[in-house]
Structure 1
């Protein structure tokens, strides 16, 4: 998750469209959507509905 956050901070345009980034974000959200505020913030950046 730390690497994904770093990717969003470094290159948000790339993280938003990269397939691996999107899939990892979806998996994290599906597993931890309410238990982790970092995941919630990533979901909002990626445009994933909770």
Structure 2
């Protein structure tokens, strides 16, 4: 969760100082997407074990 928040904060900071189409903003957004996907996969696996 901490990595997700750090990445999100960094993306907002970059976008504030550049533009949404800036290379670094897009790279950070892609990294955030990846972190969120991993988080959701892990949480869904936990929930499926609990509900089984």
- Above 0.5 in TM-score? no
The structure with the greater share of residues assigned to helix is 2
- Structure of higher RCO (CA pairs closer than 8 Å, 6+ residues apart): 2
Larger radius of gyration: 2
